[in-house]
Structure 1
Amino acid sequence: VTITNAYASTTSSTATLTVNDPAVNTQPASTNVPPGATATFSVVAGGTPTLSYQWIKNDTNLLVNGTNISGANSPTLTITNVSPSDAGNYTVAVTNGLNNSVISAPAVMTVIDPAITTEPQSRTNDYGTTATFSVSAAGTGPFTYQWLRSGTNLSNGGNVSGVASATLALTAVSYLDAGSYSVIVSNSLGNSVTSSTVTLTVKDPIITAQPSSKIAIGGTTTSFTVGAAGSSLSFIWKKGTAVLSNGGNISGANTATLMISALSATDPANYSVIVSNPASGQTVTSSTVNLSVVNPLTPRTVAVGDTIVFAPLVTGTPPFTYQWTKAGSPIAGQTSTSYTKSNVQVSDSDTYAVGVTNPAGSVTVSAALIVSATGLNLNPTNLIVLRQGDGIQAIANTGNTLFLDQFTTSGTYVNTVSIPDSGPSALIQNGTAPTEGYINLSLNRGVLTLVGFNVTRPWTSGLGNSASVDVPRAIATVDAAANYTLVVSSTNAFSGNNIRSAITDGANNYWVSGGGSGTRYFRPGSADNVSIQTTINNTRVLQIFSGDLYFSAAATSWGIHKFAGLPTAAAAESDVLLTGNNTSSPYDYVLDSSGTNMYLTEDGSASTNIYVPGIVKWTYNTGTATWNSNYTLLPGTGTRGLTADLKVNPPVLYVTTTNGANDIANRLLAVQDTGPSAAATLLATAGPNQAFKGVRFGPLPVISATPDGARVILRWNGAYTLQSATNALGPYSDIPSATSPYTNSAYSPTKRFFRLRQ
């Protein structure tokens, strides 16, 4: 090019333009392929049309289509079913329409021989199963194989086979077989190739059978079992999130089978088990299962006209369904949680049962109903327990029906006396008040005394703070023949407060305690209704020992107090023993005949001088003239009503425990005082919507003798058998067919002494 301006001009050097026509824009790429595979080479070229192509092998061999070659004259060369002879350098000559040509750069085909066409795969196996790894190879055969674990050659033996074949097998695998595996494949040409490394994971231990949910009957034994396999097994059973250990009603907590004995309402929960292998460090947790418990029905022996309720305590995992039966036949329409029958007759006596079903299965509990045509008796050697609630009515401050349940001292149920809850003789109690419900045995042991509210259940509001003019406070007695008598209904005592306990000397004198009103004296049939003391107003249980009136208190001076004698007018009380500060909560008590040993039920959370709750044993030190707490029986157990058999050594105590609707701790227990570690025996459980409160031994049967000239007329109540003897100490024998009134000659030398037996 020449460049000129106003002064001169100049010419550049000469430049040459070369046009590559044709030109290879994208070169073919080298490739590695195994024998039998398909290889392709592609080129992208540009230039004056029309372009033509000729693929060349090893610079001299012009390729032609046929056999395993196609596209020899196209931009893409395809070689199928590649063999080692196909290896080499491949180029392509590109010619344009001007007959100019260009040759591409060479692309190398490498034929891998041998080549792995299917790699082995990682896998996870359960303990005890068979694991296999397989490889597929192509190339010049025959092939040889060598399997390796963690880079080390394997040999056949034990649980290993196929180490020199295309498939490696490991039988009955355990955690010891876990690791990395690979295989070397060699051919007859002396070439070899190594597979990718794969992993074997072994689950060790494994669960082979899951535990199953259970529904069982209270008091029986049930179990959960897990099936497991592993090279080493250990078990940890759990209740909810808590790890279980052997003890109490639990055994097998570290075995494949967990056993739960003496089932109660505390046992229903979710259960699972952790199975571990200490050697492998692996654990596996079972599925979660549940336990439901149906407590047995309490049999009922009642009088004609009573109302009975059967209501099992069912705890666990709903939904539950129910079907009640009588003598094995379904009772139409009775599919609720309880069965009630009013005004029972002798003909209603039979076996009643309920089948309870949930997703875990079904159980049936049954009980006998006996309706006595001859009435009921209370035995002086049996325990009488006041029970609030019938099982279906909610425990409430508006009132609960009362019952006296009779048990032998070994816990065998005997019968139930129903207290009227409606009409002029009604007596009900505030079921939510822990300080109500105490009973007493009269000084002459002729009657039991109980107190409450003389209104029909349910009352319209809370009984405890009602006015006595609207809700009279009442005292009632029950004798050995189960005769109930309302002896006092007062409209001016304990107004706005609970009435708690009463005791009588058996001579128509009654002393009563209550909250907020201290201690009072009543004489039925007279105007006597006297406040004895109000200094200590939160008084609880009254008793008579050695001719003195005692009472427990939980205010002002917590502990036991007494009056000298049996006051019928205002009198001063004195402290017997003080239990501590206002966190002490003394209830019922027993004093031995020496007056130096006392057992006291406590339900407080703490105290300055005793361990509570429980039954505290106190001993009087004659040297220091002080009471000292020795130890606590059943420590940690809230206790309420108490009586004792002091004739045996050591004494046997009978106690009711913490109050509450559906409270699984509401029980009747027996404990022999062998020391602070003495264990309790369960005698009875109150059941749902029921609460055990006071407990005493039964009253003595009363027999009266009326002179009638030369005869004596004997009278008694209840279904007792009259016995006679010629000596006061016996032996006594039954008088056949003797009924009340019974007439006997006053001069008969062979029948001078009489008694009653059940």
Structure 2
Amino acid sequence: MRKFHLFFASFFLVGFLNAQFTSGNLVVVRLGNGTVYNGGAAARCFLDEYTTSGTLVQTIAMPVTASGGNRKFMLNNGIYGGQITLSGDNRYLLLPGFDVDEFSQPLTSFTPSIAPRIVARIDKNGTINTTTSTGAYNGESIEAAYSTNGTNIWVCGTNINNDGTGGIRYLTFGATSSTLINAGATFVGFRVLGAYNNQLFVTADWGNISLASVGSGFPVTTAALSNLPGLPTNNSPIPTGFFMADLDAGVAGPDVIYFLDGNAFGGATANTLSKYSLVGGTWIKNNAIGIDNPRGMTASVAGNSVTLYVSTNSGISKVTDATGYNANITAAFSSIATAPANTFFKGIAFAPSDFPTAVRTVENIRMSKVYQRSANELQVEFSSKKRSRVTITISDISGKQVSNLSYLAEAGINATVLNIGGLQKAVYLVTIIDGTEKTASKFVKQ
């Protein structure tokens, strides 16, 4: 039975208040409420929360009227856009859109003064803040947003006009303007932003780019794009999602990429999920499996198994790849949820949590992998640049510390097993502390 929660507006800058999310659940962006919109028109959108087995938990409406400094929020009734991401510290969802009236069109042709391109920030409690505006994307579409901490925000969109108002941009929460980041990329459709190991990445469908690193780390000024070696450069894929994983301890950093091609106009890899592995410094394609009209993707890792959740026009599908590094995907997608009639799903992400500890940029230590290897054991793997004593803690979602271990880390790859037999099934945060440095990762006790 579907549960619908009443929507009401706060008259303060805090934002629009809704029901609380459950950590570990999925949040998918739904375009429309059954109303039929013209192509390119401004459409209402909703955040539908599902369990990972596909049970609808609640629906949260994005605001259709302004309240205080918060703006109304619409999405473009088009094929792409509506990408939602979880912030690097797991505390916020970021969703870009338009501050316009419903049915306004042609939406992407409007100037920023007529149709401001904005970023919504949603927290664990379902509070929606729409005060942030890019002041950019003149006649361009805004597609995705990513934030490390809910304050520093990167957005991307089309760059067809090449007039300096589109592309990849940086801004801060509550801002009314943004700074252009990408250099030299003309006539590019940037689609999805994400991060791994403190590095920002972007997907694109023009300019000989499919998946590229953006400068070094998280740039706030002009930075060069570098397509990952071995990834397509033929402008055929329209990448609507990617996920990176570290599945082999012998390969430094991420060694597997799952690459989603949502090209609605055809192409060699259209409507597929491809798997790439890093071999000798080049990404080698293992294989691909089919998925119709994919629009977004998120995933979780447990040991060498990766479970991927893909939103499509018509629903949510799931696949678990247990083959590990440099091996073909042998499983197939199965549907776990269906979009209501005359609506479409867009991006998908895990629900935010309220962990008080943010993931910080580190110099000496870096978390590699955290996974439950048995009912009572949690495997924690990390790298260290030097021999040093670190503290490994486990905290619950309230911030209460439930485990503490002192560990002598050696230079290189380290692995240890923590006893979690006494913990209840819930979401926890593992933190490794080395002096003033911290690195953290979330896990779900099964």
Letter in 1 for 2:267: A
Letter in 2 for 1:401: R
What does residue 570 of structure 1 align with? 222
In the TM superposition, residue 469 of structure 1 has moved relative to its aligned partner by 1.2
Letter in 1 for 2:42: G
Letter in 2 for 1:390: N
What does residue 151 of structure 2 align with? 508
What does residue 321 of structure 2 align with? 673
Distance 1:676 1:303, change over 3 A: same
CA distance in 2, matches of 1:302, 1:510: 29
| CA deviation vs aligned residue, 1:608-660 (integer Å, no higher than 9, x gap) | xxx44211111111x2x211111112x26332201111125421110012x3x
CA distance in 1, matches of 2:316, 2:282: 32
Matches within 5 A, 1:18-33: none
SS in 1 for 2:59: strand
Q: Alignment partner for residue 431 of structure 1, among 64, 77, 82?
A: 77
Matches within 5 A, 1:658-737: 659=313, 666-674=314-322, 675-702=328-355
In the TM superposition, residue 503 of structure 1 has moved relative to its aligned partner by 0.6
What does residue 181 of structure 2 align with? 532
Q: Alignment partner for residue 441 of structure 1, among 86, 90, 106?
A: 86
Q: Alignment partner for residue 400 of structure 1, among 43, 48, 51?
A: 43
Q: Alignment partner for residue 4 of structure 2, among 293, 301, 317?
A: 301
Asked if 2 retains the 8 angstrom alpha-carbon contact of 1:579 and 1:586, the reply is no
Distance 1:526 1:684, change over 3 A: closer
Asked if 1 retains the 8 angstrom alpha-carbon contact of 2:309 and 2:319, the reply is yes
Query: Which structure ranks higher in relative contact order (CA pairs < 8 Å, sequence separation ≥ 6)?
Result: 2
CA distance in 2, matches of 1:691, 1:648: 33
What does residue 477 of structure 1 align with? 121
* Pair 1:452-2:103 in alignment: no
Matches within 5 A, 1:72-83: none
Asked if 1 retains the 8 angstrom alpha-carbon contact of 2:87 and 2:150, the reply is no
What does residue 197 of structure 2 align with? 546
Letter in 2 for 1:655: V
Distance 1:646 1:495, change over 3 A: same
Q: Alignment partner for residue 63 of structure 2, among 414, 420, 423?
A: 420
In the TM superposition, residue 399 of structure 1 has moved relative to its aligned partner by 1.0
In the TM superposition, residue 380 of structure 1 has moved relative to its aligned partner by 2.3
* Pair 1:650-2:302 in alignment: no
TM-score, L = length of structure 2:
0.70
In the TM superposition, residue 535 of structure 1 has moved relative to its aligned partner by 2.9
In the TM superposition, residue 582 of structure 1 has moved relative to its aligned partner by 2.9
Q: Alignment partner for residue 606 of structure 1, among 260, 264, 267?
A: 267
In the TM superposition, residue 468 of structure 1 has moved relative to its aligned partner by 0.7
Letter in 1 for 2:317: L
Asked if 2 retains the 8 angstrom alpha-carbon contact of 1:518 and 1:535, the reply is no
CA distance in 2, matches of 1:642, 1:485: 24
CA distance in 2, matches of 1:402, 1:498: 16
CA distance in 2, matches of 1:451, 1:670: 25
Distance 1:410 1:525, change over 3 A: closer
SS in 1 for 2:181: strand
CA distance in 1, matches of 2:137, 2:28: 25
Letter in 1 for 2:221: A
Matches within 5 A, 1:204-223: none
Asked if 1 retains the 8 angstrom alpha-carbon contact of 2:19 and 2:125, the reply is yes
Letter in 2 for 1:418: A
* Pair 1:617-2:283 in alignment: no
Asked if 2 retains the 8 angstrom alpha-carbon contact of 1:422 and 1:457, the reply is no
SS in 2 for 1:464: helix
Matches within 5 A, 1:250-289: none
Distance 1:417 1:579, change over 3 A: same
In the TM superposition, residue 520 of structure 1 has moved relative to its aligned partner by 0.5
CA distance in 2, matches of 1:676, 1:727: 36
| CA deviation vs aligned residue, 1:129-187 (integer Å, no higher than 9, x gap) | xxxxxxxxxxxxxxxxxxxxxxxxxxxxxxxxxxxxxxxxxxxxxxxxxxxxxxxxxxx
Asked if 1 retains the 8 angstrom alpha-carbon contact of 2:168 and 2:190, the reply is yes
Distance 1:726 1:462, change over 3 A: closer
Matches within 5 A, 1:623-638: 623=280, 625-633=281-289, 635=290, 637-638=292-293
CA distance in 2, matches of 1:612, 1:403: 27
Q: CA RMSD in A?
A: 2.7
In the TM superposition, residue 456 of structure 1 has moved relative to its aligned partner by 2.2
Distance 1:548 1:303, change over 3 A: same
Asked if 2 retains the 8 angstrom alpha-carbon contact of 1:669 and 1:682, the reply is yes
CA distance in 2, matches of 1:421, 1:669: 29
Asked if 2 retains the 8 angstrom alpha-carbon contact of 1:446 and 1:479, the reply is yes
CA distance in 2, matches of 1:469, 1:508: 23
Letter in 1 for 2:93: L
Distance 1:526 1:682, change over 3 A: closer
Asked if 2 retains the 8 angstrom alpha-carbon contact of 1:725 and 1:731, the reply is no
Distance 1:526 1:471, change over 3 A: closer
CA distance in 1, matches of 2:85, 2:19: 19
Asked if 2 retains the 8 angstrom alpha-carbon contact of 1:402 and 1:421, the reply is no
CA distance in 2, matches of 1:430, 1:507: 24
Letter in 2 for 1:592: A
CA distance in 2, matches of 1:303, 1:458: 23
In the TM superposition, residue 496 of structure 1 has moved relative to its aligned partner by 0.3
In the TM superposition, residue 672 of structure 1 has moved relative to its aligned partner by 1.3
In the TM superposition, residue 375 of structure 1 has moved relative to its aligned partner by 4.9
| CA deviation vs aligned residue, 1:355-400 (integer Å, no higher than 9, x gap) | xxxxxxxxxxxxxxxxxxx951212211110111112343642211
What does residue 144 of structure 1 align with? none
CA distance in 1, matches of 2:317, 2:344: 14
CA distance in 2, matches of 1:652, 1:507: 26
CA distance in 2, matches of 1:462, 1:600: 30
Which segments of 5 or more consecutive residues in structure 1 lack a partner in the other structure?
Answer: 1-297, 307-373, 660-665, 705-719, 734-756
In the TM superposition, residue 417 of structure 1 has moved relative to its aligned partner by 1.4
CA distance in 2, matches of 1:487, 1:562: 29
What does residue 408 of structure 2 align with? none
Percent of aligned positions with the same letter in both sequences?
27
CA distance in 1, matches of 2:240, 2:132: 24
What does residue 519 of structure 1 align with? 168
What does residue 465 of structure 1 align with? 109
SS in 2 for 1:302: coil
Asked if 2 retains the 8 angstrom alpha-carbon contact of 1:475 and 1:489, the reply is yes
Asked if 2 retains the 8 angstrom alpha-carbon contact of 1:651 and 1:672, the reply is yes
SS in 1 for 2:109: coil
Distance 1:534 1:648, change over 3 A: same
Letter in 2 for 1:601: L
Asked if 1 retains the 8 angstrom alpha-carbon contact of 2:7 and 2:60, the reply is no
Asked if 2 retains the 8 angstrom alpha-carbon contact of 1:394 and 1:689, the reply is no
CA distance in 2, matches of 1:613, 1:732: 41
SS in 2 for 1:301: coil
* Pair 1:499-2:132 in alignment: no
| CA deviation vs aligned residue, 1:490-533 (integer Å, no higher than 9, x gap) | 3x311100000001111511100001121100023567621001
CA distance in 2, matches of 1:549, 1:726: 32
Asked if 2 retains the 8 angstrom alpha-carbon contact of 1:725 and 1:732, the reply is no
